[in-house]
């Protein structure tokens, strides 16, 4: 008799679909087979059983210019649970005045209320020479990925070539991963300087000052530093066909470089910036053209992009109120709760992505890239993190029905096929049919290491 058995479901793994039961004991998957018996049983008749989603790019309670992204770790993790997400990787809040270990300790405190498991990437900002030597001590604290910005020089977050080279060298030594927001700052600055006052007060200037060339140029740069230092590189939120093609080019050279894209770059285009509420879609990278989205879907389908993450960084419409210039807006969109249904609906249901690829791009690949060794697969020995998903259910996205603390949805009114019914995390039913069944603080810190 097992603690929990999921019966009669169609289990989706990279090997394909199988009709079987799945048993969890003490939070860990212990058996996959038939006629398993549990003290508690979930009937998954008619449903898909997927591994819990690993969202490796979220920003809960992110401080931005005296404000914070609108989800904290409690509301954001509850929204995540409702979206089938059972693990997330957030970021420390770096500064020139604190070291990486202090940043990790502070973030551990902020993250405590989370209802799902969480890890961190160390944000590398405020570069001073010698900071690369803090990297091994962060690894000792269970953080094995380090986030760099090639853009945002104005706010002091940019890593210049010297910082990239030194830190990548240290990252290669420790076996960690360099995580990069890749946009060429010089190019952005030059294009911004050319804007007339009229253009500055238009939302469409956001995408014109951060075109795909910025992304492509910065990817080439960080790929090169990865190549010469031997560091593993992961590029976050690839938004354009040009960017994705530079990832492919680097891979053709045999580099250890991976990349993610996000639902907003698959679904939304820069046409939204022409709308009256276009300012609500402020994000960086900016949204692109329709062809870019189609190209990125293709990349996910055949493995040229490794996984989906959301870059969940919600701000309310009040926080995003238009003040006359695109550069006065906080950048970021909500997404942690809608990611799995959107990828199923636009990817699997349309035939762009094979069903057996879904657990790879949503769970397994991010878990493997970031060393979340107990996560991402439906197999004995892995954590009992899973989602019961109704592939036939149709629903309409409405901000008011979602749990994220945002009063608008970028997908408002969109018809979506596929819905999360139940979310199980380490064997515990944390969400089912609209209700949360978990206590704040049940999520655990995912301590990672770079060994084996």
The CA distance from 259 to 413, in Å, is: 30
- For Zn ion, the closer of residues 121 and 377 by Cβ is 121
Binding residues for Zn ion, per CB under 5 A? 311
Q: Which residues pair with 34 in a beta bridge?
A: none
- In whole angstroms, the minimum distance from the beta carbon of 330 to Zn ion comes to 12
Q: Which residues pair with 43 in a beta bridge?
A: 7
- In whole angstroms, the minimum distance from the beta carbon of 30 to Zn ion comes to 36
- In whole angstroms, the minimum distance from the beta carbon of 204 to Zn ion comes to 22
Give the CA angle between residues 299, 364, 119 to the nearest 5°: 110
- For Zn ion, the closer of residues 152 and 445 by Cβ is 152
The closest residue (CB) to Zn ion is 311
DSSP string for residues in 52-64: PEEE--B-TT-EE
Q: Which helix (H) or strand (E) holds 205?
A: helix 205-209
Q: Tell the burial category of 44 from Cβ atoms under 10 Å away from its Cβ (0-12, 13-18, 19+).
A: buried
- For Zn ion, the closer of residues 296 and 425 by Cβ is 296
The CA distance from 385 to 419, in Å, is: 17
- For Zn ion, the closer of residues 212 and 311 by Cβ is 311
- In whole angstroms, the minimum distance from the beta carbon of 184 to Zn ion comes to 17
- For Zn ion, the closer of residues 311 and 385 by Cβ is 311
- For Zn ion, the closer of residues 21 and 337 by Cβ is 337
- In whole angstroms, the minimum distance from the beta carbon of 421 to Zn ion comes to 29
Alpha-helical segments (H) within 305-385: 339-343, 358-359, 365-369
- In whole angstroms, the minimum distance from the beta carbon of 59 to Zn ion comes to 6
Rg (CA), the chain: 21
Query: 142 is written with which tokens?
Result: 């269970």
439, 425 contact by CB (below 8 A): no
Report DSSP state, residue 404: S
């Amino acid at each position: 008799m097992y603690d929990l058995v999921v019966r009669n479901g169609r289990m989706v793994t990279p090997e394909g679909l199988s009709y079987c039961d799945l048993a969890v004991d003490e939070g860990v998957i212990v058996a996959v087979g038939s006629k398993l018996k549990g003290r508690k049983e979930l009937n998954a008749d008619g449903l898909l059983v997927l591994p819990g989603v690993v969202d490796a790019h979220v920003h809960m309670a992110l401080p931005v210019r005296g404000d914070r992204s609108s989800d904290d770790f409690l509301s954001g993790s509850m929204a995540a649970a409702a979206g089938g997400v059972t693990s997330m990787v957030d970021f420390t809040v770096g500064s020139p005045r604190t070291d990486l270990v202090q940043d990790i300790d502070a973030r551990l405190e902020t993250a405590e209320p989370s209802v799902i498991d969480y890890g961190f990437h160390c944000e590398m900002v405020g570069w001073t020479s010698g900071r690369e030597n803090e990297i091994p001590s962060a690894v000792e604290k269970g953080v094995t990925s380090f986030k760099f910005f090639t853009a945002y020089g104005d706010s002091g977050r940019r890593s210049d070539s010297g910082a990239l080279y030194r830190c990548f060298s240290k990252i290669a030594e420790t076996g960690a991963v360099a995580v990069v927001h890749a946009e060429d700052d010089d190019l952005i600055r030059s294009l911004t300087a050319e804007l007339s006052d009229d253009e500055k007060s238009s939302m469409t200037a956001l995408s014109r000052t951060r075109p795909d060339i910025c992304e492509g140029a910065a990817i080439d740069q960080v790929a090169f530093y990865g190549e010469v230092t031997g560091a593993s590189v992961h590029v976050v939120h690839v938004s354009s066909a040009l960017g994705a093609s530079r990832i492919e080019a680097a891979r053709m050279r045999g580099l250890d470089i991976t990349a993610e894209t996000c639902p907003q770059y698959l679904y939304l285009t820069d046409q939204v910036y022409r709308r009256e509420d276009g300012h609500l879609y402020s994000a960086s990278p900016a949204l692109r053209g329709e062809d870019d989205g189609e190209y990125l879907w293709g990349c996910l389908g055949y493995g040229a992009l490794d996984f989906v993450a959301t870059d969940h960084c919600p701000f309310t419409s009040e926080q995003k109120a238009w003040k006359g210039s695109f550069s006065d807006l906080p950048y970021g969109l909500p997404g942690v709760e809608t990611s799995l249904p959107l990828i199923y609906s636009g990817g699997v249901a349309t035939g762009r992505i094979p069903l057996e690829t879904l657990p790879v791009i949503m769970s397994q690949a991010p878990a493997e890239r970031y060393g979340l060794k107990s996560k991402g697969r439906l197999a004995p020995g892995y954590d009992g993190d899973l989602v019961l998903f109704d592939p036939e259910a149709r629903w309409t996205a409405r901000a008011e029905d979602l749990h994220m603390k945002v009063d608008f949805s970028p997908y408002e009114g969109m018809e979506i096929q596929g819905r999360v019914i139940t979310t199980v995390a380490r064997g515990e039913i944390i969400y089912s049919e609209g209700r949360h069944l978990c206590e704040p603080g049940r999520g655990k810190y995912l301590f990672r290491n770079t060994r084996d």
